[in-house]
Structure 1
Amino acid sequence: MELSEAIAKRTSVRFYEEREVDDETLKELIKAAIRAPTASGLENWFFVAYKSKDVRENVYELIKQGHIEYFRERGLPEEKMKKLLKRFEEGMYRAPLYLGVFINKNVKALQDEKYSKLEFYWALESAAMAIENLMLKATELGLGTCYIGVACFEHIEKELKKIAGLREEYCLAGLITVGYPKEETKPRKRKKSVEEVLRIL
């Protein structure tokens, strides 16, 4: 698959087959992820594969509760909330693999505290680029992925770190569902054109 095809085909997948993602495929995804640019060459990312059945069930419940909290805060009407819960009952975001992408805040190039915030941004940006590499590789391998933003709620991140046995210096950059799509994927068109999001000076 050409890169341009992978970019065009990548889309957020919310329903998955029960088929396992084997360890060799997982390693291929991580190999692609760590080829991403990394600020100051620090490679301060860390990947956690939440793969065993009990662990996945725990992660799934956290995701579900996070979505309920998120949409309640947004003021989603109860009728739409019922539809959301129905989709969870149908298995939305129930994946054979969840990948947590963390950064280690203690790994820095500059020791002066005045640069800490900047280095934190650099680490997050590096992790974000690793996530995109991973998603494009997954597309090439016939897998689907979805970024789960609510996983970064403080109480959910805390639980994900606890499950993984990670100390306080680790920060969650993103949680990704990974698996074989249950149905044919149809990437959505972007709402804005290139001209609307580009300024040439």
Structure 2
Amino acid sequence: MELDEAIAKRTSIRYFSDEPVSDDAIRELVKAAIRAPTASGLENWLFVVFRSEEARKKVFDLIAEGMVEYYKAVNLPEEKIEKLKNRIYEEGMYRAPVYIAVFIDRRVRFLKGREFDEVEFMWSVESAAMAIQNLMLKAVELGLGTVYIGVTNFQAIEEKVRELAGLDDNYYLVGLIPVGYPRGEVKPRKRRKGIEEVLKFL
């Protein structure tokens, strides 16, 4: 598969089949992820794979909790929140055979001194985000679907995901990625903005 094809086919998959994802496929995803650029060459990322039934159930419940919190924060009417819960719990939205949590280790840094705390953190998050994109593009090549989950970054939920991963607060969760074979047809969405709206030459 050419890179252009993988980029064009990548889309957020929210419904997955029960087909398991092999260890080899997971290793291929992470191998692609760690080829991403990494600030100061630190490679201070950690990929935690949740795939036991018990761990996946806990992660799934945390995603659902975060989605409800998100929609309450944007003042979605209660009846729409109930429909969302139905899609999650009854239809299995975001229920996947594998979840990959991508963390950074805040202690691993290049510039010392508190005045560099913010920029070092930003660089680390950017590095992990680029790794996630590599992982997602590799997933397309392997016929897998992924979706970026941001609601697990709500503080209370992020702490619970970290605890599930057996990590202390030196680690920060950049993203949680459900991974699996798509359930149903994959239809990449068009972007609302064209290139001329987001591109500026000087």
Instruction: Please tell me whether residue 90 in structure 1 is matched to residue 91 in structure 2.
Output: yes
The aligned residue for residue 24 of structure 1 is 24
User: 1:78 deviation in Å?
Assistant: 2.3
What letter is aligned with 1:27?
R
The aligned residue for residue 155 of structure 1 is 156
CA distance, structure 2, for counterparts of residue 63 and residue 18 of structure 1: 18
1:95-110 aligned within 5 A: 95-110=96-111
The aligned residue for residue 165 of structure 2 is 164
CA distance, structure 2, for counterparts of residue 128 and residue 144 of structure 1: 17
User: 1:117 deviation in Å?
Assistant: 0.7
The C-alpha deviation readout for 1:131-173, integer Å capped at 9, x for no partner, is 0000000000000000011011111110111111101110000
Aligned length: 201
3-state SS, counterpart of residue 187 of structure 1? coil
The aligned residue for residue 11 of structure 1 is 11
CA distance, structure 1, for counterparts of residue 26 and residue 39 of structure 2: 24
User: 1:34 deviation in Å?
Assistant: 0.0
Instruction: Report the TM-score when normalising by structure 1.
Output: 0.98
The C-alpha deviation readout for 1:75-119, integer Å capped at 9, x for no partner, is 111232222111112100000000000000000111122111101
The aligned residue for residue 181 of structure 1 is 182
The aligned residue for residue 68 of structure 2 is 68
3-state SS, counterpart of residue 109 of structure 1? coil
The C-alpha deviation readout for 1:36-83, integer Å capped at 9, x for no partner, is 000000000000001100000000001101111110111111232222
User: 1:185 deviation in Å?
Assistant: 0.7
Instruction: Report the TM-score when normalising by structure 2.
Output: 0.98
Q: Kindly, what percent of the aligned residue pairs are identical? A: 58
Q: In terms of mean alpha carbon deviation, does 76-85 or 97-106 score higher? A: 76-85
User: 1:130 deviation in Å?
Assistant: 0.1
User: 1:13 deviation in Å?
Assistant: 0.2
The aligned residue for residue 80 of structure 1 is 80
- Structure 1: which 5+ runs fail to align? none
CA distance, structure 2, for counterparts of residue 196 and residue 188 of structure 1: 18
3-state SS, counterpart of residue 137 of structure 1? helix
3-state SS, counterpart of residue 116 of structure 2? helix
3-state SS, counterpart of residue 124 of structure 1? helix
CA distance, structure 1, for counterparts of residue 81 and residue 114 of structure 2: 44
Instruction: Please tell me whether residue 54 in structure 1 is matched to residue 54 in structure 2.
Output: yes
CA distance, structure 2, for counterparts of residue 163 and residue 69 of structure 1: 20
What letter is aligned with 2:29?
L
What letter is aligned with 2:96?
A
What letter is aligned with 2:125?
L
3-state SS, counterpart of residue 147 of structure 1? coil
What letter is aligned with 2:7?
I
- Runs of 4+ aligned structure 1 residues displaced above 4 Å come to none
